[in-house]
């Protein structure tokens, strides 16, 4: 009697009560692992190569999740798996929050990221299976768009609102902002000096703030020799690196003798390859004669007024605010202050345009924040959110009669291996795998480097945006454009079918990468232009990705469609993981400009399988086949 009551009551449960929250919860950990982690590690000072390599490996659980999907069927119910996985996801997010302030935060957070990735992939298996069990056929067809919408909302929340929230904490956890007026005038002295900085008091209790010496940067419009500029810039750069204000990524891998330390792989494979790529394709700075005239410079010192707490970092981000852009910032865009370097000045270097001859001025604003604390707070909020999700779904998810633990374990395992084998026995399996692995070859590298490109300073090829800027421009508007492109792609495919649109969609997912080529070469400062380029690329990707999803549905048709689709999604993740792992390494060698040109060249192998795939011309038209799938 108890079982009958339990199984019949949930049938009356309104799907609106659990489908939106379930698929929102499914999307959040994925976007945290794939995108938010990239931005977080970038803000915490990790190099592009390490970010791409180690976060790229985090795709692995989604690649291999078909291998343990039978366990979700064999043990317990899918409802049980959903609730437990949400608790584990919450614990992993909490672990990340606690690990971020640690000295070895990168290694520890990666451990919790792996736990988050595996629990998220398992949650996906259980949620997608529960969707089939908790709804009848009519409801499944009706709510398929609803589940996709709330998954997209999770993407918007993660890449947009979550990044904006972290950016807010970054600025609100810091010291009062500072402003530096840079004045240029022909009457100012041409002589360049390092500023005199008074010593700090030893007080630890007084409130800290940034002090600028001198309060105004005075630049002469009389040009100087380029050799003199190189000398002063070297002094500023070495001083900031030696005192820990700026991290020197290239020096981290060298030993005391100045030689690169590494494994057999780095010494015999990646090292020589790096040298070859850098020599032939790396960004070469033009050789300028030492007596060539260039714009004059001025050095400003910034230091903390008092000693901060131990293990507490304050990161000062200095950006142009208003005035004449003929005055630029050469060194000191991002400076890190802590208890070890607080009593030393960090140097900031301004320069005039060499063509400037009239008096003018510009204002630069520095905002600071405790980056580690800001991201810890963000992940604590996420952890609390998933604890609430688990509690909510514990009471609100229905109890379908078909959601029960399997009894015949051995038969299920045998059936699984037979199903797995039938996928690879297809005659055209080589062509299918080539399509799955190469269709998004360019996009797999763009997705890892887009955020670092926007966050990196302009003097090393980036766009110099803040965390909040990236959250708004790329995360919010970009994801909205992605959603719009996906909707349009679905409508188009339902009218004329996948075969008709395949080539158009394949081009749509590749050609708009030219937007990043434009951004890398022009480096526009107008955020509207940057946001428009990101939106165009994301819209086209959403439109082009429709063909990829429909192709996976098409090759999965038959008796074992669910298992075959899971295998296809594994190869989909593999096609994103491997190129993404090495994208940061490649970008650091050849620079952003050549990197995005390389991404455009990756379109060629991505289009080759499109020539040969055979698709039923009627597939996808009028929803007949897609509804059955």
Backbone phi and psi for residue 260, each to the nearest 5 degrees, phi listed first = -75, 125
Q: Which residues pair with 178 in a beta bridge?
A: 366
Is the CB of residue 115 less than 8 Å from the CB of residue 325?
no
Q: Is the peptide bond before 248 cis (omega within 30 degrees of 0)?
A: no
In whole angstroms, what is the distance from residue 92 CA to residue 29 CA?
10
Question: What percentage of the chain has pLDDT greater than the value 90?
Answer: 18
The residues near 547 (Cβ < 8 Å, ≥ 6 apart) are: 489, 493, 498, 501, 502, 505, 506, 509
The last residue of one of the domains, among 345, 369, 393, is 369
- The Cα–Cα gap between 467 and 333 comes to 14
Q: Which of 369, 396, 429 is the last residue of a domain?
A: 369
394 and 440 belong to one structural domain: no
What pLDDT is attached to residue 384? 94
Q: Name the pTM for this structure.
A: 0.65
Tell whether 597 and 495 lie within a shared domain.
yes
- 3-state class (DSSP) for residue 211: strand
Question: Where residue 147 sits, what CATH number does that domain have?
Answer: 1.20.1250.20
Question: Is residue 18, in this structure, part of any structural domain at all?
Answer: yes
Residues 595 and 446 in one domain: yes
Q: pLDDT: is 473 or 231 the higher one? A: 231
Between these two residues, 70 and 482, which has the higher pLDDT value?
Answer: 482
Last residue of a domain, one of 369, 399, 427: 369
pLDDT category of residue 371 using cuts at 50, 70 and 90? confident
Residue at 305 is within a domain: yes
Write out the DSSP string of 133-198.
HHS-HHHHHHHHHHHHHHHHHHHHIIIIIHHHHHHHHHHHTSPPPEEEEEEEETTS-----PPP-P
464 and 322 both lie in a single domain: no
In a domain, 412, yes or no: no
Q: How do residues 396-440 score in pLDDT, each as one tens digit? A: 888 887 777 655 555 656 666 776 777 788 888 889 899 999 988
Query: Which two tokens mark 14?
Result: 């309104």
* pLDDT above 60 (res 264): no
Q: What is the pLDDT of residue 203?
A: 46
Give the whole-angstrom CA distance, residue 368 versus residue 303. 12
Range of the domain at 473: 418-629
pLDDT at 266 over 60: no
Helix (H, G, I), strand (E, B) or coil at 462: coil
Torsions phi, psi for 29 (to 5 deg): -65, -30
Residue 257: pLDDT band with limits 50, 70, 90: very low
pLDDT > 70 fraction of the chain, expressed in percent and rounded: 81
Domain shared by 139 and 261, yes or no: no
Provide mean pLDDT across the span 103-116: 91
Contact 127, 26 (CB under 8 A): yes
How far apart are alpha carbons 127 and 12 in whole angstroms? Answer: 19
**Does residue 344 belong to any structural domain of this protein?**
yes
| pLDDT tens per residue, range 111-166 | 999 999 999 988 988 887 787 677 765 565 456 556 766 787 887 788 778 888 88
Structure tokens at 471: 């959250």
Based on the domain organization, do 10 and 102 belong to the same domain?
yes
Q: Could you report the per-residue pLDDT of 528-558, keeping only the tens digit for each? A: 898 888 889 888 888 888 788 778 777 876 6
Q: Are 493 and 501 in contact (CB under 8 A)?
A: yes
Q: Using DSSP, state whether 47 is helix, strand or coil.
A: coil
In a domain, 549, yes or no: yes
Q: What is the pLDDT of residue 235?
A: 92
Q: How many structural domains are present in the chain? A: 3
Whether residue 267 is contained in a domain is answered as yes
Whether 13 and 65 map to the same domain: the answer is yes
**252 plus 104 within the same structural domain:** no
State whether 585 and 518 are in the same domain: yes
Is the domain of 227 the same as that of 319? yes
- pLDDT tens-digit series, residues 268-291: 666 677 677 766 666 665 555 556
Q: pLDDT band for position 2 (50/70/90)?
A: very low
Q: Specify the pLDDT at position 262.
A: 47
Residue 423 sits in the same domain as residue 536: yes
* 346-356: pLDDT as tens digits: 999 999 888 88
Model confidence band, residue 253 (pLDDT cutoffs 50, 70, 90): very low
Answer whether residue 413 is part of any domain.
Answer: no
**Residue 67 domain-assigned (yes or no):** yes
Decide which of 614 and 254 is more confident. Answer: 614
Write out pLDDT tens, residues 556-578. Answer: 766 666 567 677 877 888 888 78
Q: What is the pLDDT of residues 315-340, one digit of tens each?
A: 888 888 888 878 888 888 888 888 88
For residue 628, the model assigns a pLDDT of: 40
Residue 315's contacts (CB-CB under 8 Å, 6 or more residues apart) are: 170, 174, 334, 335, 336, 337, 368, 369, 370, 371
Surface-to-core class of residue 291, CB atoms within 10 Å of its CB (0-12 exposed, 13-18 middle, 19+ buried): exposed
- 222 and 324 part of one domain: yes
């Amino acid at each position: 009697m108890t079982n009958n009551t339990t199984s019949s009551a949930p049938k009356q449960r309104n799907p609106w009560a659990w489908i939106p929250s379930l698929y929102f919860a499914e999307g959040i950990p994925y976007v945290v692992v794939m995108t938010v982690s990239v931005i977080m590690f970038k803000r915490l000072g990790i190099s592009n190569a390490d970010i791409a390599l180690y976060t790229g490996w985090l795709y692995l659980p989604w690649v291999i999740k078909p291998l343990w999907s039978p366990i979700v069927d064999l043990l317990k119910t899918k409802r049980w798996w959903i609730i437990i996985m949400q608790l584990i996801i919450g614990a992993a997010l909490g672990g990340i929050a606690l690990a971020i302030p640690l000295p070895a935060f990168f290694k520890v957070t990666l451990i919790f990221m792996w736990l988050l990735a595996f629990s998220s992939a398992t949650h996906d298996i259980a949620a997608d299976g529960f969707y089939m069990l908790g709804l009848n056929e009519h409801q499944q067809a009706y709510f398929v768009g609803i589940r996709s919408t709330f998954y997209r909302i999770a993407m918007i929340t993660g890449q947009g609102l979550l990044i904006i929230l972290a950016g807010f904490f970054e600025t609100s956890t810091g010291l009062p902002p500072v402003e530096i007026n840079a004045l240029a005038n022909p009457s100012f002295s041409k002589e360049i000096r390092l500023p005199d900085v008074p010593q700090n008091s030893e007080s630890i209790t007084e409130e800290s703030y940034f002090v600028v010496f001198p309060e105004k940067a005075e630049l002469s419009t009389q040009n100087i020799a380029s050799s003199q500029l190189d000398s002063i810039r070297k002094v500023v750069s070495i001083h900031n690196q030696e005192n820990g204000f700026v991290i020197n990524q290239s020096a981290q891998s060298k030993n005391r003798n100045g030689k690169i330390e590494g494994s057999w792989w780095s010494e015999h494979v990646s090292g020589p390859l790096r040298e070859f790529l850098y020599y032939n394709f790396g960004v070469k700075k033009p050789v300028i004669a030492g007596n060539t005239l260039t714009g004059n410079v001025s050095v400003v010192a910034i230091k903390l007024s008092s000693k901060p707490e131990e293990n507490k970092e304050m990161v000062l981000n200095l950006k142009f605010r208003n005035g004449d852009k003929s005055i630029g910032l050469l060194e000191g865009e991002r400076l890190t202050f802590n208890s070890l370097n607080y009593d030393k000045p960090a140097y900031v270097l301004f320069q005039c345009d060499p063509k400037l001859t009239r008096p003018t001025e510009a204002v630069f604003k520095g905002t600071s924040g405790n980056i580690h604390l800001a991201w810890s707070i963000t992940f604590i909020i996420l952890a609390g959110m998933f604890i609430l999700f688990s509690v909510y779904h514990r009471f609100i998810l229905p109890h379908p009669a078909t959601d029960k633990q399997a009894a015949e374990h051995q038969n299920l395992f045998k059936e699984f291996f037979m199903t797995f084998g039938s996928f690879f026995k297809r005659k055209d399996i080589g062509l299918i795998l080539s399509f799955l692995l190469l269709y998004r070859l360019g996009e797999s590298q763009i997705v890892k480097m887009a955020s670092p490109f926007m966050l990196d300073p302009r003097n090393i090829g980036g766009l110099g945006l803040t965390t909040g800027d990236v959250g708004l421009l790329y995360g919010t508007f970009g994801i909205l454009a992605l959603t719009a492109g996906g909707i349009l792609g679905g409508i188009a495919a339902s009218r004329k079918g996948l075969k008709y649109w395949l080539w158009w969609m394949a081009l749509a997912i590749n050609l708009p990468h030219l937007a990043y080529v434009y951004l890398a070469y022009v480096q526009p400062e107008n955020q509207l232009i940057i946001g428009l380029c990101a939106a165009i690329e994301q819209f086209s990707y959403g439109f082009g990705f429709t063909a990829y999803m429909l192709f996976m549905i098409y090759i999965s048709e038959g008796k074992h469609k669910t298992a075959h689709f899971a295998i296809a999604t594994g190869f989909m993740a593999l096609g994103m993981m491997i190129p993404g792992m090495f994208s940061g390494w490649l970008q650091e060698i050849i620079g952003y400009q050549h990197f995005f040109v390389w991404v455009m060249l990756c379109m060629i192998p991505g289009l080759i399988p499109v020539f040969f795939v055979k698709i039923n011309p009627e597939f996808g038209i009028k929803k007949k086949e897609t509804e059955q799938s």
